Chains A and B, each alone.
Chain A
Amino acid sequence: AQSVAQPEDQVNVAEGNPLTVKCTYSVSGNPYLFWYVQYPNRGLQFLLKYITGDNLVKGSYGFEAEFNKSQTSFHLKKPSALVSDSALYFCAVRDTNSGAGSYQLTFGKGTKLSVIP
């Protein structure tokens, strides 16, 4: 079975400082990993994904994430936080060994990011 953990319910960071939102995963096969962002009363927006290749993935709005196989982590990062980055962030995983064509994602519980002016 696949699972995702986002250990922090909330992350507070000052505007202009670097931010990190943590994610760890568990799969039996190889992982496909994703980050999504959700603004209040809106659907989830795709930020970035890791499928294969370079461990450092760059995505939308200046975000990036690093795939670390040994630590089974996929932390989301941004060098300089903006107030507009304040939102709910979800990490998700798909185990390439499961799903039988369903392409199901398992989502973490979400981390609320607050960027303080």
Chain B
Amino acid sequence: SQTIHQWPATLVQPVGSPLSLECTVEGTSNPNLYWYRQAAGRGLQLLFYSVGIGQISSEVPQNLSASRPQDRQFILSSKKLLLSDSGFYLCAWVLIDGSNEQFFGPGTRLTVL
């Protein structure tokens, strides 16, 4: 069966510090991968998605970036965090076989102070 991991689970960082959040998927190959941010426990904002290694599409201009160095690894980064980057970051994957539903990781709670 497929599983998706995210780490760290929680993170507290000062403004201006760098960020690296990691997401890995097990038990599948060539998934589409997604990064979402959820603010204040409500709506999801799609940040980036990737349809393959090295292929990143950005949905919202910001100081964040994403990379996909391996088929089942998706990394969210920032060189300098802002207060507004605080939130709950969710990684998700979908297998392009007609099932269509996205499966979500457990999330990373980021607090920027």
- Which positions in A face B, CB cutoff 8 Å? 32, 34, 36, 40-46, 49, 51, 88, 90, 94, 101-105, 107-110
Contacts and interface: CB of A to CB of B under 8 A. Distances in A.
Q: Which of B94, B96, B100 has the most CB of A within 10 A?
A: B100
In the A-B complex, the 3 residue pairs with the smallest Cβ-Cβ separation, listed nearest first, are: A43-B104, A109-B43, A44-B104
Given A43-B104, A103-B100, A109 B51 contact: no
A90 B107 contact: no
Interface string B78-99: 0000000000101010101010
Interface of B is mostly: strand
26 contacts: A34-B100, A40-B41, A41-B88, A42-B106, A43-B6, A43-B105, A43-B106, A43-B107, A45-B104, A46-B101, A49-B101, A88-B41, A90-B44, A94-B100, A101-B51, A101-B96, A102-B32, A102-B49, A102-B51, A102-B57, A103-B32, A103-B96, A104-B34, A104-B46, A107-B44, A109-B42
Nearest to A34: B101
Nearest to B6: A43
Given A102-B57, A104-B49, A105-B102, A41 B43 contact: no
